[in-house]
Chain A
């Protein structure tokens, strides 16, 4: 039996958890991104080698995940700003969250082919 149950919060709590998780993921990406981009100053050749290792389906899928994290974090960030500065924000936070999720799904569907086209071509032929 578990030590205690998980608190059963609603949309507000889980959107906050998702905001935190996506924020940390984006931070890790930026960390790696600054490192590999800084490499170009050290040795352009090594930079090319490193970036070449990124050109595979797994990293491509991670890029799609990065798009997902940034889109959610950005859109939910706007919702949090509205909750903070719009007097009716707290009242409509739930509707705003579902709008965020709706826009996120549309944008993710739109980004599917542009982001993953290389992988789709590699995996499913020309």
Chain B
């Protein structure tokens, strides 16, 4: 008896899966397009697409670029959420196009795709990332040590490694920095991503440059600009607790203890 029920359920599930696969849905992809050689203003362009709900926004963008309009411009490299190239504002929120499934963002309504905020748009979804990377370089995201180089590897306990584990996950996609209201209004602010990468070294037991980095972040445009809106934490595609990391840097600056 019970076996038969299980089999029935199983085949029913299979049928549903097959039906879903054979029934593509029509979505409207509403892209914020901008080409300075054609028009001074950006404008919205709608694309009707037949898509599987289990596909991603990136697949929809590819379909437009490869089959409808080859001039659509966006960045993507690995397409698997590692390179951090395709951060964009999808339905009003920063996400990676390669990690956002159509079925998860209400495909019944038009899906809006815009470039990330706060950085100059160069064309369509491509922004000038230079200010973002400059802030990253400014916090010196590399190991700083004193004295002679050891003859063997620099050992670290699992506990010490755990201290900064969360902030090692950053892929520099700029989803956090460009979700920050402070950064939109003040491009000089270091931004969450730079602080996260400073945190990664400040709390690393092998690193000896914490004082220098804390001094850099003690600046007017440093960590004190953070207003804890938590947009960065919500936007991070790697699930880094960005605001928590920023608060830890603030507390390290107050107590001068790491």
Q: How many angstroms from the CA of A90 to the CA of B230 in the assembled complex?
A: 8
Total number of A residues with any Cβ neighbor in B under 8 Å? 22
Give chain B nearest CB distance to A11 CB in angstroms.
8
Closest to A9 in B: B231
Residues of B contacting A7 in the complex (Cβ-Cβ under 8 angstroms): 89, 92-93, 117, 179, 181, 231
Let me know if B229 and A12 touch, CB within 8 A.
Answer: yes
Choose the segment among A41-49, A79-87, A115-123 that binds chain B (4+ C-beta atoms closer than 8 Å). A79-87
Q: How many angstroms from the CA of A6 to the CA of B89 in the assembled complex?
A: 10
Question: Tally of A-B residue pairs with Cβ under 8 A?
Answer: 71
Residues of A contacting B89 in the complex (Cβ-Cβ under 8 angstroms): 5, 7
Across the interface, A80 reaches (CB within 8 A) one of B114, B228, B241, B248, namely B228
Contacts A7-B93, A7-B117; A13 near B181 (Cβ below 8 A): yes
Give chain B nearest CB distance to A15 CB in angstroms.
8
Chain B residues touching A, majority SS? mixed
Total number of B residues with any Cβ neighbor in A under 8 Å? 27
Residues of B contacting A1 in the complex (Cβ-Cβ under 8 angstroms): 43-44
Query: A54 an interface residue at 8 Å Cβ cutoff?
Result: no
Q: How many angstroms from the CA of A10 to the CA of B233 in the assembled complex?
A: 10
Closest to A94 in B: B230
Let me know if A9 and B234 touch, CB within 8 A.
Answer: yes
Let me know if A10 and B114 touch, CB within 8 A.
Answer: no
Let me know if B251 and A85 touch, CB within 8 A.
Answer: yes
Across the interface, B228 reaches (CB within 8 A) one of A3, A4, A16, A91, namely A16
Closest to A90 in B: B244
Q: How many angstroms from the CA of A8 to the CA of B114 in the assembled complex?
A: 13
Residues of B contacting A91 in the complex (Cβ-Cβ under 8 angstroms): 241, 244
Contacts A5-B89, A5-B112; A13 near B250 (Cβ below 8 A): no
Residues of A contacting B112 in the complex (Cβ-Cβ under 8 angstroms): 5
Across the interface, A13 reaches (CB within 8 A) one of B229, B244, B247, namely B229
Query: A93 an interface residue at 8 Å Cβ cutoff?
Result: yes
Give chain B nearest CB distance to A70 CB in angstroms.
20
Query: B169 an interface residue at 8 Å Cβ cutoff?
Result: no
Q: Which of B220-238 contact A (CB under 8 A)?
A: 227-231, 233-234
Residues of A contacting B93 in the complex (Cβ-Cβ under 8 angstroms): 7-9
Residues of B contacting A87 in the complex (Cβ-Cβ under 8 angstroms): 248, 251
Query: B177 an interface residue at 8 Å Cβ cutoff?
Result: no
Across the interface, B114 reaches (CB within 8 A) one of A4, A11, A85, A90, namely A4
Contacts A7-B89, A9-B231; A16 near B44 (Cβ below 8 A): no
Residues of A contacting B241 in the complex (Cβ-Cβ under 8 angstroms): 90-91
Closest to B182 in A: A16
Let me know if A84 and B117 touch, CB within 8 A.
Answer: no
Q: How many angstroms from the CA of A93 to the CA of B179 in the assembled complex?
A: 18
Q: How many angstroms from the CA of A83 to the CA of B42 in the assembled complex?
A: 38
Residues of A contacting B247 in the complex (Cβ-Cβ under 8 angstroms): 83-84, 89-90
Q: Mark interface residues in A70-111 (1 if CB within 8 Å of B CB, else 0).
A: 000000000010011101011101000000000000000000
Residues of B contacting A83 in the complex (Cβ-Cβ under 8 angstroms): 228, 243, 247
Instruction: Tell me which of B89, B179, B247 has the highest count of chain A C-beta atoms within 10 A of its own C-beta.
Output: B247
Write 12 A-B pairs (CB below 8 A) sorted by A numbering: A4-B42, A7-B89, A7-B93, A7-B117, A7-B181, A9-B230, A9-B231, A11-B230, A90-B228, A90-B247, A91-B244, A93-B230
Q: Which 4 A-B pairs have the closest CB atoms?
A: A12-B230, A8-B92, A90-B244, A16-B229
Q: A7-B89, A7-B92, A87-B248 are in contact. List 4 more A-B contacts (CB 8 A).
A: A5-B89, A9-B234, A90-B233, A90-B244
